[in-house]
Chain A
């Protein structure tokens, strides 16, 4: 591939990434209606719940459950729910992950 081809390829990837990132932020104004505001307020929790699932089951299509990852995520989520201490929950989850991978 020539230098120009590589540059064009990088530009095409960058455009595909930047468009969905920047367009909604550029289009939505500062003031939104109450219903839209409620929707926007719920989106972060929805996205985080979804991101956690994607991280556990892989990129798809199809679910590839890894027992070690699942055990770590369940442990971390349970500790977070019980203690509300994020760092403690992450360290516990990583410890479970390391232990599960060593035992496999």
Chain B
């Protein structure tokens, strides 16, 4: 599954839904991937000179980390996005295989640390993107607060796109 479906969250969900009808698996996977909707939408602003067909290729290669690198200006072309995908893909597939075999042997603290490593990367890239201007900083903080509030009742996969789109829209209409 790792070779074809490029989303850890959806894969994890599918493992728990093995006995369910395919429609349930599809809908669950779709709901868990809703965060990609605004990311894919943002590609029009982040890759303004790329033809639409290339933006679709970039969108297909996109995961959270790839988007974060693009949004923070660390990569700026479709080719670079595909390059980050090529770098991550073997590690992704091999990591899944190794994880299946080795996870029971690893200490829980090490697995907890892996979440923290990624959180640090996202935090640094968020500060970098927010440093572009006051409006960007305000929108990043508003989206973060909105996600935290929404996650009291919603899963992160739904809270994230909802809060990000609302914060972006608010930042667009507020004059100062």
Question: Of all chain B residues, which has the CB nearest A47?
Answer: B164
Q: Which residues of A contact B140 (CB under 8 A)?
A: 45-46, 48-49
Q: Which residues 68-97 of A sit at the B interface, judged by CB distance below 8 A?
A: 68-69, 72-73, 76-77, 80-81, 84, 86, 89-90, 93-94, 97
Q: Which residues of B contact A29 (CB under 8 A)?
A: 44, 52
Are the CB atoms of A25 and B172 closer together than 8 Å? no
Task: Tell me whether chain A's interface is mostly helix, strand or loop, or mixed.
Answer: helix
Give the distance in Å from the alpha carbon of A1 to the alpha carbon of B19 in the complex: 9
Are the CB atoms of B155 and A61 closer together than 8 Å? yes
Instruction: Select which of B25, B115, B128, B141 is within 8 A of A80 by beta carbon.
Output: B128
Are the CB atoms of A43 and B122 closer together than 8 Å? no
Are the CB atoms of B116 and A97 closer together than 8 Å? yes
Q: Which residues of B contact A59 (CB under 8 A)?
A: 9, 155-157
- B13 CB to closest chain A CB (Å) equals 8
Are the CB atoms of B45 and A25 closer together than 8 Å? no
Are the CB atoms of A66 and B165 closer together than 8 Å? no
Are the CB atoms of B139 and A16 closer together than 8 Å? no
Q: Which residues of A contact B49 (CB under 8 A)?
A: 30
Confirm or deny: B93 has a beta carbon within 8 angstroms of a beta carbon on chain A.
Answer: no
Contact string against A for B residues 125-144, beta-carbon threshold 8 Å, 1 for contact and 0 otherwise? 11111111001110111111
Task: Tell me whether chain B's interface is mostly helix, strand or loop, or mixed.
Answer: helix
Are the CB atoms of B122 and A55 closer together than 8 Å? yes
In the complex with contacts A10-B5, A25-B44, A43-B38, A54-B117 CB distance below 8 A: no
Instruction: Select which of A8, A53, A97 is within 8 A of B120 by beta carbon.
Output: A97
Instruction: Select which of A12, A26, A55, A81 is within 8 A of B56 by beta carbon.
Output: A26
Give the distance in Å from the alpha carbon of A16 to the alpha carbon of B35 in the complex: 12
Contact string against A for B residues 61-91, beta-carbon threshold 8 Å, 1 for contact and 0 otherwise? 0101001101110100000000000000000
Are the CB atoms of A39 and B124 closer together than 8 Å? no
Are the CB atoms of B172 and A42 closer together than 8 Å? yes
Are the CB atoms of A43 and B160 closer together than 8 Å? no
Q: Which residues of B contact A94 (CB under 8 A)?
A: 116-117, 120
Q: Which residues of A contact B36 (CB under 8 A)?
A: 17, 20-21
Are the CB atoms of B30 and A20 closer together than 8 Å? yes
Are the CB atoms of A9 and B164 closer together than 8 Å? no
A-B pairs with the 3 shortest C-beta distances? A16-B29, A40-B45, A44-B71
15 A-B pairs within 8 Å (CB atoms) are namely A13-B1, A21-B59, A28-B43, A42-B135, A44-B72, A47-B42, A48-B122, A51-B68, A55-B123, A61-B155, A63-B148, A80-B123, A80-B124, A97-B116, A101-B112
